[in-house]
Structure 1
Amino acid sequence: MRHRHQAAPQQAPWPHRVKRQHCRGLADEADVPPAISQDWRSFRAALVAGSRQARGGEQSESNQTLLHLQDPVLGREAVWAHSIPDAEQGGLLLATRQAPEVLMNDGLEQAVVFLASHGPEGSLGLLLNK
């Protein structure tokens, strides 16, 4: 219960939530084809695979061999993760061998970052494995 002299609690500046019905251009779930909403990973992987064929797909046989050695069950599963040309909110950023040189920070070798926010104003990520 709030008394007259108490101020209303202030909302934190982040994370910012927007109600879907007030956003223009966002599709309702009814507008999304069932095949996409039920299996979005396969749908997304198919889109990326189609674009990858045009530029010649990338594969690391040594990584696949290592995966089979470390976890045979996981090694037999279908791959659904894929690279994309641009960062996306909700995606994972994986450091490459060049990351320490590019970022000028040896501590970011093999870093995994969850991209919580990404837009013209900048990006916000959470470092998951350091």
Structure 2
Amino acid sequence: MVNPAGTNPMTYDFFGAWDATGPTAPHSALNSYSGIPKADFHTSATIAKLKGLGIPSAKPLLGIGFYGRGWTGVTQSAPGGTATGTVGGTAYAKCGSEWWSYDTPATIATKMAYKNQQGLGGTFFWELSGDTANGELIKAID
């Protein structure tokens, strides 16, 4: 039986601090990409899995992480690199020896288009204090 209240799949934290030495990878990628360290560790695979289990499209809500995940001691710019430790979708950047993954208003807009195309029930996020003072991330959900 499907939960009538819906489901909130955590479509973020696919990669992060629990793997202190990597692989570095976007923690909330919408789709797969060349070199993804673990197959199906992305949002569209999660949604497809839920639909495959018989959950109607209108039940899942798309989750957005309002924070970044990162590593230190990184020498490789592309996802899949190794790290010496952790710090702290989508977008990613290598800054010195640190590698960060995060969502921006532009990546959230892409996720909202995906949500609408898939007919998902809505969006949720974690956690409001990770947004900018003028609410750039939450406004991108609109």
TM-score by shorter chain over 0.5: no
The higher radius of gyration belongs to 1
Structure having the larger proportion of residues in helix: 1
Higher relative contact order (CA 8 A, sep 6+): 2
Structure having the larger proportion of residues in strand: 2
